[in-house]
Structure 1
Amino acid sequence: MNESIDILAFGAHPDDAEIGIGGILAKHAENGFSVAVCHLTEAELSSNGTVERRREEAKAAAEILGISRSIQLGFPDRGLRGSEEQILKMTQVIRQLKPRVVLAPYWEDRHPDHVACSRMVKEAVFDAAIRMKQTPGGESAHRVDQVFYYFINNVHKADLIVDVTDVYERKQQALLAYKSQFDPNEGEVKTPLNSPTYLAMIRGRDQLWGHQIGALYGEALVSAGPLKQTLLIPQEK
């Protein structure tokens, strides 16, 4: 892993990024930007499916969205402790891929792993920029231009909403690739994800965000810092 990536999205589990920013990833990939996703765990404690099946589903979803690289760090599900070893591995991924933008789960969520992932990404982004911080492969320091946080289960006031109308059905296809999680007929156990209302809720939420920017569908992001604006009012051409 030595090429530079435009966008690197972190998720605690395979399907996190697809739920929150599947449209954003697909839209940027379609427009020629390189997109990578890093899953911290293999979701081995999920109520439905198996690790092997989740791998296949994640691969299918990545192909649908146009993700150029999918990374699996294999941290234990419900074991995201933010240990020195875990942060170091995430730091190494950032330095190897040198992303311009990093995306992470929003820091408030009903799932503790999503909250932990958010915190760990913040630490890894910070450490990646420290010149004297050593990583096992000897990678040089890298400073990420911008960090944004995406929503999985929660909603909050957005700093940025991206119009994903033109790629929204691709997002839906990517979610449906995770049949073990979202298809009630595939699940042995009833969960919030395979509830008949879950995918409808995600679509409705994305419609609500889209409505705020005059689009059919949108995906919302929260900025880790101030957003840089060159001009408040663009110059007329």
Structure 2
Amino acid sequence: MSNSLDILIFGAHPDDAEIGMGGTIVKHTSQGYRVGICDLTYAEMSSNGTVETRQEEAAKASDVLGLALRSNLGLPDRGLWIGPEPIASITREIRKHKPRIIFAPYWEDRHPDHIACSKLVQEAVFNAKLRKYEPDTEAHNVEQTYFYFINDVVEADLLVDISDVHQQKMDALKAYRTQFESAAAGNNYVATPLNQGYLERVEAKDRMLGQKRMVPYAEGFISKLPYLVHLF
């Protein structure tokens, strides 16, 4: 089977993509699109849970989303810096799966790793098309890069109506029990923004975005390139 994907989504941590665009993922996988997520880190610096539990939760969430694949580059959590090695690692992932469309976190967010992930992916998308860059792998030109929101939201360029799949998005997020449920964090529980009603705020954000176009729930995206259409 070909490794090529229709859509490849990058996140700094397992659960980033689910927060920002879980509904959009389900809408595409349910229509037969091959969608993959690449997590840059194992979120080993998270206050609750372990790397092992986070990977188990990511696998459960992936099943809910219907992903064709999920990979992890094993870059250091809270150590994502712009440099040749992480850029090359992401570039190779793009060339391996040859996605038509890529998603990355929006470049402004309260979490520094989300900002770094956005910058790294943009660098890698550019490098992926350069045939003289790491010429032992085949160059690949991504058609479009979109940016999804995790914590902070600005005015979106594009909205996706996720009303019919919003429950599946929430089910995927609920798979991350150690992150979003205080009771699941164990004896070493630490209060964080994630386990203090965060899922309710995700739902409120999706409602707020949906209200702009009079639908129950929507997810928003930003594009740095103008949209090209043939007809309206």
Shorter-chain TM-score tier: over 0.9
In structure 1, list runs of 5 or more residues that go unmatched: none
Look up the match of 1:3. 3
Stretch moving more, 1-10 or 215-224: 1-10
* 1:2 and 1:96 in contact (8 A); partners too: no
Look up the match of 2:190. 189
Distance 1:140 1:148 in 2: 23
Look up the match of 1:200. 200
Listed as ranges, the matches of 1:14-25 within 5 Å are: 14-25=14-25
Distance 2:158 2:150 in 1: 16
Look up the match of 1:76. 76
Relative to the length of structure 2, the TM-score reads 0.96
The one-letter amino acid of 1:72's match is N
SS at match of 1:149: strand
Aligned pairs, number: 229
Displacement after TM superposition at 1:2 (Å): 5.1
Distance 1:89 1:192 in 2: 30
Distance 2:152 2:58 in 1: 22
Alignment deviations for residues 124-160 of structure 1 (CA, whole Å, 9 cap, x no partner): 000001111116xx22111101000000000001010
Listed as ranges, the matches of 1:163-178 within 5 Å are: 163-178=161-176
Out of 133, 142, 145, the residue aligned to residue 147 of structure 1 is 145
Distance 2:124 2:41 in 1: 16
SS at match of 2:220: strand
Displacement after TM superposition at 1:82 (Å): 2.1
Identical aligned residues as a percent: 50
Displacement after TM superposition at 1:224 (Å): 2.1
SS at match of 2:53: helix
* 1:38 and 1:73 in contact (8 A); partners too: yes
User: Aligned Cα RMSD in Å?
Assistant: 1.1
Runs of 4+ in structure 1 over 6 Å off: none
In structure 2, list runs of 5 or more residues that go unmatched: none
Relative to the length of structure 1, the TM-score reads 0.94
Please say if 1:224 is aligned against 2:224.
yes
Listed as ranges, the matches of 1:1-237 within 5 Å are: 3-134=3-134, 138-187=136-185, 188-196=189-197, 198-231=198-231, 233=232
